């Protein structure tokens, strides 16, 4: 069946599309990393070998594997190969603690864990408690996928700093089935788990978000109307364990384009690779855009090949959007949604330059509503918690946590299921959604609701401020009070007191900061979200 015919189906699979590309364009580049690349024919063959290996080891459809490693060609092959035999994938963050990783492995009951040598070192103290079969993707002696038309290359893990391979673990080359191996075909179930994405887990136990096959297929079909396709070259510089990355990675590979993988983001290296490979698409988070646009060398790179750039996962300021539009060729699209799914809003920033303060309008067919604390829909023009519903892009639930799943759901009067976002927003008269803040981050001071995002927006206008966060801390007098944290631009001479005084002249009395601290950097998750809880807890612990 042709690629076009598959995309017309209500449900098909990503691995079927890859198999079709392997026939139609076997030598077209699918994955590129550093000096290595895989064509679609090679990718398809390696996926078959992974699938055959998993079946050989007794895995069946709906079983789970986990991957915890930096992004690599092997990572992508392991992920895609598991999908071919109906095995779901739990991509885990290498930045997690050993105990958190153990909890996630136990929660998803992973039968196999693919990891790299850095994660192997991290898990060494708890190795005896790992129940999964462990496969080292980059260990000494492993055979790397070849350069197109070349021979396998030795893994760099064999160089200085390699971690000894425990007896019970295997290297990628030892585990992988022989060339030419093919798995027993498996019929995909639209409702079966595709992957389980764990929340960041900065506090407490991470929740496993179960995304079914139909949800990922809907992402691919939706992307068919954008800049993805056989001529696309997509820069992937965020981790493959993040849903932010996967909503770009899977459409790119499913629709026959080339994916350029970066194991770790570096702004200058990103621009170098984008120019070299004539990149057409990129998915970046706001902090990456900020670092790229701040580079003095930015304007010397030829980025004219770009067609679309995407952004999601964290607040994207109107000022930064404007800088990107003014200096970086190609369109700019902001997605607003959740890993849990529900409703999605899209802002085509280059087409609506007067709406850069918003996250756009709901995608056609997506139902976005606003509710109050009692679960009632708010009148037009009023603020409320954002809840969303869509035909196919909704999680099945939180893995093994039915109570948490229920807490995340809201039902309208007709019994339709929506996913709660925890964000406070307001629709304007044109139907564009403006986000005011996270519900849990809203500060109630002296009976007044204060949105940290409003204060952050003002602080960003100060010429010496490069980065900012505002949090609420307990106050005996007011209940809560806002505290600011700013990162100064290089060479700036302002102090916290001066910036706080400047701020007080521009906001109402109830919005004035109780304190403002100058910090070297803001704590962020690997995907770029500011960890406000860390700022709040640190401030309270210091008794500041």
On the question of a common fold for 3-261 and 442-542, the answer reads no
For the cut 90, the answer to whether the pLDDT of residue 84 exceeds it is yes
Instruction: Please tell me the number of Cα atoms within 13 Å of 477 on its side-chain side.
Output: 4
pLDDT tens digits along 273-309: 999 999 999 999 998 999 999 999 999 999 999 999 9
- 3-state SS, residue 109: coil
Summarize the confidence of residues 381-408 as an average pLDDT.
Answer: 94
**More confidently predicted of 146 and 273:** 273
Please give the Cα distance from 143 to 155 (Å, whole number). 6
CATH 3.40.50.980 applies to domain 3-261: yes
Question: How would you write 30-79 as a 3-class SS string?
Answer: EEEECCEEEEHHHHHHHHHHHHHHHHHCCCCCCCEEEEECCCCHHHHHHH
Please give the Cα distance from 322 to 303 (Å, whole number). 17
Please give the Cα distance from 120 to 356 (Å, whole number). 44
Environment class of 5 (CB within 10 Å of its CB; exposed 0-12, middle 13-18, buried 19+):
exposed
- Residue 145, pLDDT score: 45
User: So where are the chain's domains?
Assistant: 3-261, 442-542
For the cut 70, the answer to whether the pLDDT of residue 327 exceeds it is yes
* Cα–Cα nearest to 414, from 389, 450, 394: 389
- Residue 479, pLDDT score: 84
For the cut 50, the answer to whether the pLDDT of residue 358 exceeds it is yes
**% of the chain beyond a pLDDT of 70:** 93
Question: How would you write 364-428 as a 3-class SS string?
Answer: CCCEEEEECCCCCECCCCCCEEEEEECCCCECCEECCCHHHHHHCEEECCCCCEEEEEEEEEEEC
| Confidence grade of residue 4 (pLDDT, cut at 50, 70, 90) | confident
Place domain 442-542 in its CATH homologous superfamily.
Answer: ANL, C-terminal domain (3.30.300.30)
**More confidently predicted of 453 and 484:** 484
For the cut 60, the answer to whether the pLDDT of residue 160 exceeds it is no
* Cα–Cα nearest to 420, from 432, 433, 411, 430: 411
| Confidence grade of residue 151 (pLDDT, cut at 50, 70, 90) | very low
Whether 24 contacts 17, CB under 8 Å: no
- Residue 143, pLDDT score: 44
Q: What share of the chain is helix, strand, coil (3-state, %, to 5)?
A: 30, 25, 40
Strands 88-91 and 112-115: unpaired
Whether 29 contacts 151, CB under 8 Å: no
The pTM is what?
0.86
């Amino acid at each position: 069946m042709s690629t076009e015919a598959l995309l017309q189906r209500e449900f098909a699979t990503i691995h079927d599309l890859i198999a079709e590309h392997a026939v139609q364009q076997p030598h077209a580049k699918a994955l590129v990393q550093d000096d290595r690349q895989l064509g679609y024919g090679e990718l398809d063959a390696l996926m078959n070998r992974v699938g055959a290996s998993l079946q050989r080891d007794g895995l069946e459809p709906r079983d789970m594997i986990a991957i915890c490693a930096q992004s690599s060609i092997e990572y992508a092959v392991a992920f895609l190969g598991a999908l071919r035999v109906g095995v779901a994938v739990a991509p885990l963050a290498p930045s997690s603690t050993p105990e958190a990783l153990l909890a996630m492995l136990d929660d998803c009951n992973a039968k196999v864990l693919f990891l790299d040598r850095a994660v192997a070192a991290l898990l060494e103290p708890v190795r005896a408690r790992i129940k999964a079969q462990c496969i080292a993707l980059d260990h000494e002696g492993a055979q790397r996928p070849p350069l197109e038309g070349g021979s396998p290359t030795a893994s760099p893990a064999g160089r200085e700093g390699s971690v000894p391979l425990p007896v019970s673990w295997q290297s990628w080359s030892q585990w992988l089935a022989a060339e030419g191996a093919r798995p027993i075909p498996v019929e995909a179930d639209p409702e079966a788990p595709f992957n389980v994405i764990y929340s960041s887990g900065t506090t407490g136990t991470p929740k496993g978000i179960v995304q079914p096959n139909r949800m990922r297929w809907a992402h691919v079909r939706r992307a068919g109307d954008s800049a993805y396709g056989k001529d696309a070259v997509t820069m992937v510089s965020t981790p493959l364990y993040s849903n932010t990355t996967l909503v770009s990675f899977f459409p790119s590979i499913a629709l026959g384009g080339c994916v350029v993988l970066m194991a770790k983001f570096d702004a200058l290296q990103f621009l170098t690779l984008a120019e070299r490979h004539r990149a057409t698409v990129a998915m970046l988070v706001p902090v990456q855009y900020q670092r790229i646009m701040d580079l003095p060398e930015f304007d010397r790179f030829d980025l004219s090949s770009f067609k679309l750039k995407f952004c999601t996962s964290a607040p994207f300021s109107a000022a930064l959007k404007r800088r990107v539009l003014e200096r970086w060729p190609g369109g700019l699209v902001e997605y607003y949604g959740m890993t849990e799914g529900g409703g999605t809003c899209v802002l085509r920033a280059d087409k609506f330059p007067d709406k850069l303060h918003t996250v756009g309008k709901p995608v056609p067919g997506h139902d976005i509503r606003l509710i109050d604390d009692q679960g009632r829909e708010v009148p037009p023009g009023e603020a409320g918690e954002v809840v969303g519903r869509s035909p196919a892009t909704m999680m099945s639930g939180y893995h093994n946590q039915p109570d948490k799943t229920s807490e995340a759901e809201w039902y309208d009067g007709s019994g339709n299921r929506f996913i709660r976002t925890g964000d406070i927003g307001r629709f304007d008269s044109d139907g564009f959604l403006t986000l005011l803040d996270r519900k849990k981050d809203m500060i109630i001071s002296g009976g007044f609701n204060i949105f940290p995002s409003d204060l952050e927006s003002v602080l960003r206008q100060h010429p010496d401020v490069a980065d900012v966060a505002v949090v609420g801390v307990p106050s005996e007098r007011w209940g809560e009070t806002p505290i600011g944290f700013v990162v100064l631009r290089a060479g700036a001479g302002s102090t916290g007191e001066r910036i706080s005084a400047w701020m007080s002249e521009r906001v109402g009395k109830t919005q004035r900061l109780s304190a403002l601290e100058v910090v070297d950097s803001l704590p962020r998750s690997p995907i770029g979200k500011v960890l406000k809880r860390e700022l709040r807890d640190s401030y309270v612990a210091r008794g500041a």
